[in-house]
Amino acid sequence: MSSAEADSVAPEVRRQWQDLAEAVREHQFRYYIKDAPIISDAEFDSMFNELLALEERHPELRVADSPTQLVGGAGFATDFAEAQHLERMLSLDDVFDRDELVAWSNRVENEVGKEPHYLCELKIDGVALSLVYRDGRLERAATRGTAASVRT
């Protein structure tokens, strides 16, 4: 962020963004790296959405290392080696009420250009994994995002 852009944001707004970004990073670290969250998913989603809304109102705050610009545990050092995925693992979107679901469905329809078909599955909280089995044996497990290999 250039100094001119930073100056266009009121100090109290910048401080609010810094506090929120720091809190979101801390909770991401506890969830993705330590596997020891201290707040509920709903509380985290609310905090994350507040940060997103703040960045929507003040785009100059949206920087490359903002928690809103990273996937899952990206940005945290790990001992895992990177892996190449066979298929792209896409992120999930959260919706919290019927209006948000309808808006999401309309966005998908507009992007696809026709009425899409949906496959819905229950989301089980935890890490997203891509598992590759050969001859009934687990050959590789990789996470979404940076595709770090999982120790087996």
**Each residue's pLDDT tens digit in the chain (152 positions)?**
444 455 688 999 999 999 999 999 999 888 877 888 999 989 999 999 999 999 999 999 998 888 888 765 555 555 666 777 776 666 667 788 899 989 988 988 888 888 887 766 556 666 677 778 888 888 888 776 554 545 54
pLDDT at 130: 75
Is 123 assigned a catalytic role?
A: yes
pTM over 0.85: no
CA distance 99 to 57: 21
| Dihedral over Cα of 7, 13, 15, 21: its sign | negative
pLDDT at 9: 87
Give all domains of the chain, ordered by start, each with its CATH number. Answer: 3-69 (1.10.287.610), 78-152 (no CATH)
| DSSP one-letter code for 136 | T
CA distance 59 to 64: 12
126: left (phi over 0), alpha (psi -120 to 50) or beta: left
- Per annotation, catalytic residue among 15, 34, 57, 123: 123
pLDDT at 90: 64
C-beta of residue 60 within 8 angstroms of C-beta of residue 6 = yes
pLDDT at 152: 45
Task: Copy the structure tokens of residue 84.
Answer: 């190449």
